[in-house]
Structures are given as structure tokens and as C-alpha cells.
Structure 1
Amino acid sequence: MAHQTATPSGAPTPRPARPGRGHDTPGWTGGGVVFAGVLLFVDGVLAVLNGIGAIANGDVYQGVGDYTFRFDLTSWGWIHLILGVILLCTGVGILGGHAWARYVGIAMAALSIIANFMWLPYQPLWAVVVIAIDLFVIWALADDRTGPAA
């Protein structure tokens, strides 16, 4: 999109757009991809810490009665630890601009949503916060205006 200025004769003359201001820029969601990478990285670090806490000391989390998706805390700890390491690596890949990391990031954020839904009885507030963050990550990474390798 060119900006216009008036000439002495009154006719507008086109002026080239400033770099980064044209119609080919990804818009405000372009920064969302970087933010999604940072969120995945932080989500991974916190999932690793969550997993270590569940593995090391089962008394950290309160026991849950009869719940459909009930595992022992050691199993949940390993699930969060492994998921966290993969989320962390995916966040690094997104921040590095790798196209594969966007697709893996969408898949891993979806798995994180499922894992945190099943983790709701142990940490309800935190699980809801992580689910909301993962929904934003999926939206930001799936936005087709930012291109495959943002």
C-alpha cells in the first residue's frame, strides 16, 4: 500500500511504503507466533517442574477419589515430564523459525490440552490456565497469514 503526497500541481504522487508496513506483512498475529513459541517454552519448563514434583514427592498433590482418568501420581509425573521436554524443544524450534516446529507445536499444544483436562482434579486452576494458553498457541500457530516459516 503506497502513501501519497501532493505535488505543487495538486496531483498526488505515490510514495513507496515503509519497509515492514506493506500488505505482505503478517499483521499483529506475526508477533503471536513468537509469543506462542515463548509460551510453549515456558509451558514446557513448568510441565517439567510439575512432573518432577509429582515423581519426587507424591504428597505435593492431594489425592483424588474416583475419577475416570485416574493414574497414580508417578505416572502423571512421567507424562508431564515427557510432555514438558517435548514442549520445551518445540518452543525452541518455533523461536528458531523452523516450519516443522509450527506443526509439532499445534499437535503438542493439543496433547497438552488433553493432559491438563485429565489433570483437572489435581490442579484445577492451573490446568484451566494452561488449557487457555494452549488454545492461544494453537490459534497463533495455525494462523495462515503468518506463513509456514514465521
Structure 2
Amino acid sequence: MTAVPKETRRGRGGPDSSEINGPSLFAGSVLMLSGPLSILMGASGIAQDTLFSASRYAYRFDLTAWGWIHLVIGVALVITGLGVLTDKSWGRGAGVVVAGISLITQFMFVPYYPLWAIPAMTLDLLIIFALTRFHVGTSGGR
């Protein structure tokens, strides 16, 4: 039996490839953008409890609580963004889950600051789309 060179067996973007594909790179980059922005939003809500206001809203929380929610989700977005960019096996799934949670919380935050929440929701949708739609040649055991 003839030995096949390693490059031929793997091929570009194959299951053993260490290269991250374009959609995963995009999703990881957007996670790394959305995360720090959520962290900054959270810090703003924690620092100034009167910064945002919404009258008579079903999901009305104390603004400090909203700040902590955004802060925790922002940190989770950064961690999963790093997981996606380093092609960890848990990165894609965790990225979808965290982006989904962020999408829901941003939706609940719309009455407080719609000019922030709607673009953040768009980023979350793009992350979910990129991580779920395009799954070609990612590694399996890292």
C-alpha cells in the first residue's frame, strides 16, 4: 500500500484542517464585536441607573439589573467568539446559544434604548445565521 502525503489526505477545509472557514471567521469576529459592546452597555447601565427609561413595560427591570444582564451576556459573547475563532469544538454551538440569548434580551431591551437594541439584534441574527447555515469543514475534536 502506498502512503498518501498528509496534504493530499486532508485537503483544504477538510475535517482535519486547522483553517477556519469564512462564515465562522465572520461569526467569530461579530461575536468579538458584539460582546464588548454589550459589556459597555452593561457598564453604562450599572454606573448610571437613570441612563435609560421605559414607561409601563412588561419586562421592566431595575436598570442596574439590565446592566448586569448585558455585562454577563457580553462576557459570554466574547468567550464564545474566542471559541469560534480558535475553532474549538464547543465554539459553534455555544455561539448559537449565547447569540440567541443575547437576541432575546435585546428584544426585551428595545423599549429602553431601541437605537441600540435593534442593531444589536441584527448582529445576533447574523451570528446565528453564519454559525448554523454554513458548516463546512470544521474540525471535530478540538
CA distance in 2, matches of 1:77, 1:126: 14
Tell me if structure 1 keeps the 8 A contact 2:87–2:138.
no
SS of equivalent to 2:111: coil
Q: Which runs of 5+ in 1 are unaligned?
A: 1-18, 25-29
Q: Is 135-144 or 38-47 further displaced after alignment?
A: 135-144
Q: Once superposed, which parts of structure 1, at least 4 consecutive aligned residues long, lie more than 3 Å away? A: 147-150
Change (3 A) 1:145 1:56: closer
Asked if 1:110 is matched to 2:100, the reply is yes
CA distance in 1, matches of 2:68, 2:22: 33
Letter in 2 for 1:41: M
Letter in 1 for 2:105: A
Aligned residues: 126
Q: Give the aligned partner of residue 55 of structure 1.
A: 46
Q: Give the aligned partner of residue 4 of structure 1.
A: none
Deviation at 1:130, TM superposition (A): 1.1
RMSD over aligned CA atoms reads 2.2
Q: Give the aligned partner of residue 77 of structure 1.
A: 67
Q: Give the aligned partner of residue 40 of structure 1.
A: 31
Change (3 A) 1:145 1:74: closer
CA distance in 1, matches of 2:97, 2:23: 17
Tell me if structure 1 keeps the 8 A contact 2:25–2:84.
yes
Deviation at 1:148, TM superposition (A): 4.3
- Residue of 73, 88, 94 corresponding to 1:98: 88
Question: TM-score normalised to the size of structure 2?
Answer: 0.80
Deviation at 1:41, TM superposition (A): 1.1
SS of equivalent to 1:146: coil
Q: Which runs of 5+ in 2 are unaligned?
A: 1-10, 15-20
Letter in 2 for 1:38: S
More strand per residue: 1
Deviation by residue 1:78-135 (Cα, 9 ceiling, x = unmatched): 0000111011111011110112110000000100100000000111022111111111
Deviation at 1:147, TM superposition (A): 3.8
